[in-house]
Structures are given as C-alpha cells and as structure tokens.
Amino acid sequence: MKYQTGKPGRVIVARFEDHEDVLGNLIALARNENIRAGIFYLIGGMREGRIVVGPETDQLPPKPVWKALGESHEVVGLGTIFWQGDEPKIHFHGAFGKKDQVKVGCLREKSETFLVLEAVIIEMEGITATRELDPASGMVLLKM
C-alpha cells in the first residue's frame, strides 16, 4: 500500500440542472477551480448514463461489462478527482435506482442530469497523487 496525507481545502457545492452533462461539468469545474485532488459526493437524479458493472472475468486486462441507464434514475455515490497530465480525471462509483431495480457501477460515459443533481466537492491539499495508464490492466490508475 502507498499513501499520502493531506488536509481538507475548499468545499464547493454545485447544482446540475436538467439535461446537463454530469461528468463533463465535474471535469470543467475541477479545471476552472484547479482542483488537483478532491473527493466528491453526488445525490439526485440522472436520466442517461453508461456504467461499468464489473469485468467479464478476473483476467487482465479486464473486459468491462456495460449497462445503460436509459431513463431517469435516483443516484447517490462517491468519486475522486486526480489529474492525468493536463486533464482532471473523474472516478465515480454510484448506486442508480429505478422502481425496484438498483444498479451499482462506475460511471464512465454519457451522463445527463434528470431534474437536479447536487455535488459536494472537498478539495484535498497536500496530496500529489496523479492518474497514469497502467500497462498491465490497460486502465488509468492512481499513482503516488
């Protein structure tokens, strides 16, 4: 295990309006505010999204299993912000519920707010971790 210690910095609260791009707006906010390391919480609704719900098998590199939301869902989850080169990278895992169905996964593509989605972002000061491509897994992973 590798780790770093830091302390909380700024706290940002954001409201995403109906039909807004969730991942795109989180990236833009991190870039505009120069958040180099952060943690965020999301709560509200999403109408569109593509999530990874695990690998097909436990082999490297993993072949992701994709699920589409395709309609409005309640969402609650947790994510991190770290940079890969000159771009902030978002890693978000959430629970997405509709009626009696719940999907849990990593939101990676196409994301659109339903009605309203709230974000609370806590900047982490003193953390220098970044994201880098891991050749073995083919994934962009946290590096310290």
User: pLDDT tens digits for 66-117?
Assistant: 999 989 999 999 999 999 999 999 999 999 999 999 999 999 988 999 999 9
Q: Name the pTM for this structure.
A: 0.94
Whether 36 shows a pLDDT value over 90: the answer reads yes
Compute the distance between CA of residue 94 and CA of residue 43 in angstroms, rounded to an integer: 9
- Say what the pLDDT of residue 70 is: 87
- Say what the pLDDT of residue 110 is: 85
Give the tokens for residue 98.
């509709």
Q: Tell me which architecture the domain covering 7-143 has in CATH.
A: 2-Layer Sandwich (3.30)
Q: Give percent of the chain above pLDDT 70.
A: 100
8 Å CB contact between 78 and 121 = no
User: pLDDT tens digits for 124-136?
Assistant: 999 999 999 999 8
Exposed e or buried b for every residue in 128-138, given b needs 16+ CB within 10 A? Answer: ebbbeeeeeee
Q: Per-residue confidence at 16, pLDDT binned at 50, 70, 90?
A: very high
Compute the distance between CA of residue 130 and CA of residue 138 in angstroms, rounded to an integer: 16
Whether 20 shows a pLDDT value over 90: the answer reads yes
Compute the distance between CA of residue 39 and CA of residue 125 in angstroms, rounded to an integer: 11
Side-chain half-sphere exposure of 89, counting CA atoms within 13 A:
17
8 Å CB contact between 2 and 128 = no
Calculate the average pLDDT of the chain.
Answer: 96
3-state secondary structure of 75: strand
DSSP state letter for 121 = E
